[in-house]
Amino acid sequence: MLLVILSLVPFAGALRAARPAAAHVKHHRKPKPLPYRAFPPSHESLVLQNAEANRLGLERYEDSKALSAAVEREELVPLPLSVSLAVDRRLDPKRRYCRPWVAAFLFDLSDAYYREFHTPLLVDSAVRTVKVQRSLLRWNKNAAPAHGELESVHIAGIAVDIARRPLSGNQIRWLELRLLYYHALGRVIVEEELKQPCFHIVVSGDYPNGSTGVQLIESSVTVDTIPEEELPQ
């Protein structure tokens, strides 16, 4: 009997070896779709932002000394902070300024937003100096240059960034629709940035009456074409 059992051992091993190995199935994850944006950043947008600053003949502030002088001349005014508009505490108090018409726009936008949602909008960037913009470029590869036809117009005081991250899908939709309205009137140029999530808003020097000088980016996006299913959450 023992001999019979031993004679079967190699055969059992052979059976185990003969079994085909289970096929290794790779499961490839589908890439996550990018959030919908009504105002994707573009080369054309940067060109038009600078065209507006040039049309108005605006100074680009080189350093903090130039910034302080502009505040003294009232070329720059404080951000209109209120119950409806807050500022990121990390923003340097010396840079919580903008052009007067930008302040008027922020007041109107934040007031309408607060009446709808009973919470303030948050500004996380306003005027910058050339020196600050150069420093920003060292760690933020998406930042606009400090010089040239594509330079950041934050250094001219006509751009502000509204934080996107704390907003809900409904709040983002409301803001996009409102900005599309202002864009159609020639009052703003907007980019929705995702790397450092914000609405980058450049306000026309003709605000609040619209603009006959500022060029608009042609777009097929309208109030009616924003897809409900693609709204960020």
Q: How many whole angstroms from its chain centre is CA 15?
A: 63
Strand ranges of the sheet holding 198-203, from the earlier edge strand across to the other edge: 85-87, 121-125, 159-163, 198-203, 188-193
- CA proximity to 164, closest of 64, 41, 10: 41
Q: What is the largest CA-CA distance in the chain?
A: 109
**Domain 38-220, CATH:** 3.30.1380
pLDDT at 193: 86
pTM for the structure as a whole? 0.73
- The closest of 150, 232, 151 to 199, measured between CA atoms, is 232
Neighbours of 174 (CB within 10 A): 16
SS3 122: strand
SS3 assignment, position 120: coil
d(CA 65, CA 155): 13
Which residue stretches of the chain are H helix? 2-18, 43-55, 64-72, 100-117, 130-137, 169-184
3-class SS of residue 89: coil
State the SS3 of 154-190: HHHCCEEEEECCCCCHHHHHHHHHHHHHHHHCCCEEE
**Stretches in the chain below the pLDDT threshold 70:** 1-28, 30-35, 135-150, 210-233
| Domain boundary assignment for the chain | 38-220
